[in-house]
Amino acid sequence: MTSRPDHRSGLVDAAGRAAFFPAKAAAQMWRGQIEGAVDAALQSPETARAIDRALAGPLPEQIARSALEHHVLERLVAELARTGELERLLTSALGSSRTRALADQLIASDEMGHVLGAVAGSPEVRAALARQTTGFADDVLDGLRGQARRLDDRADRRRDAPRPTAYGGVATRALALAADVAVAAAIYASVVGLASLIGLLVGGLRPEWLVGVLLATGWSIVAGAYFVLFWTTAGRTPGMQLMRVRVRTADDGRTPGVGRSVVRVIGLVVSIVPMFAGFLPVLFDRRRRGLADMLAGTVVVNDEE
């Protein structure tokens, strides 16, 4: 009794397959003819004209909008990336000789030169380079100042001196003086060059001893004016600014006047002449004063501003 429904279902399935068998047989028999007809229809001039009219109308724009709305390109790229096909295509394209030839041609073209020139000369690139250069120079100068301060402390003969001290030491002063002499020499060379040009125009200077006297006198005037000008106006020379030290009066901490600055220049010359012996008191004095400072009543202090 329980097997009768299953028996009926099997009969129904068999009857259904028997009913659809003629349709399947007809489809298999007509498949080749249908495919041939479709190919003939697609290759016909009428179909080509219909496609041409469709492409001339709004259909391409509609297809593009539909592709954008449904993110077709993103889906295609994602699928290519997932399967690894995108990497293979890029590697093959970049490694081809044609790609290398096109890249070489692009780099050597005048248009690329104009583009690179415009980019390199843009205000943004110049500002970035200036920031990088300034940052690098600041790092170098900070390291130089720190090393000079450590050498100041090592050279100090007063073991009971406080660390860090407010006064500039011998190493810091030496570096500042070297920088100032270089700047003053550059100014003096410019003046001598101009004077030489004028001398050539008037037939030259004679005798030679007069030329030597004028050169020595000119150097003394240029160097003396250089130090006096900066000490009295800013309290520091460019070299002292580089090492961040400043000249102050010993009694009230003011910027020295012209008189003190002239005396300090004379003391500086006297300190240099006997093998820089005038700087030896810096190693022993409580305020690290040299002979020039003692004569002018000044001190050299660290300026951390």
47 vs 27, 43, 247, 263, CA distance in Å? 25, 7, 97, 106
Q: How do residues 193-231 score in pLDDT, each as one tens digit?
A: 888 887 777 666 667 777 778 888 999 999 999 999 999
Predicted pLDDT of residue 35 = 67
> Which letter, b or e, does each residue of 32-41 get, where b requires 16 or more Cβ atoms within 10 Å of its Cβ?
eeeeeeeeee
> Which letter, b or e, does each residue of 231-263 get, where b requires 16 or more Cβ atoms within 10 Å of its Cβ?
bbeebbbebbbbbbbbbbbbeeeebbeeebbbb
> Mapping DSSP to helix (H, G, I), strand (E, B) and coil, where does residue 46 land?
helix
25 vs 22, 33, 34, 38, 200, CA distance in Å? 5, 14, 14, 20, 117
Predicted pLDDT of residue 179 = 95
Q: Is 120 exposed, middle or buried, given 0-12, 13-18 or 19+ CB atoms closer than 10 A?
A: exposed
77 vs 69, 72, 73, 204, CA distance in Å? 16, 9, 6, 82
Q: How do residues 79-111 score in pLDDT, each as one tens digit?
A: 888 888 878 887 887 778 888 888 788 788 887
Q: Which of 259, 258, 245, 257 is nearest to 289 (CA)?
A: 245
Cα 56 from Cα 37, distance rounded (Å):
26
Q: State phi, psi for 298 to the nearest 5 degrees.
A: -125, 165
Q: Which of 254, 237, 233, 238 is nearest to 298 (CA)?
A: 254
Q: How do residues 110-164 score in pLDDT, each as one tens digit?
A: 877 777 777 777 787 777 767 776 777 888 888 999 999 999 888 887 766 666 7
128: number of Cβ within 10 Å: 11
Sign of the CA dihedral running 114, 120, 121, 125: positive
126: number of Cβ within 10 Å: 11
Confidence of residue 2 (pLDDT cuts 50, 70, 90): very low
Cα 44 from Cα 22, distance rounded (Å):
32
Q: How do residues 33-42 score in pLDDT, each as one tens digit?
A: 666 666 676 6
User: Is the bond preceding 22 in cis, omega lying within 30 degrees of 0?
Assistant: no
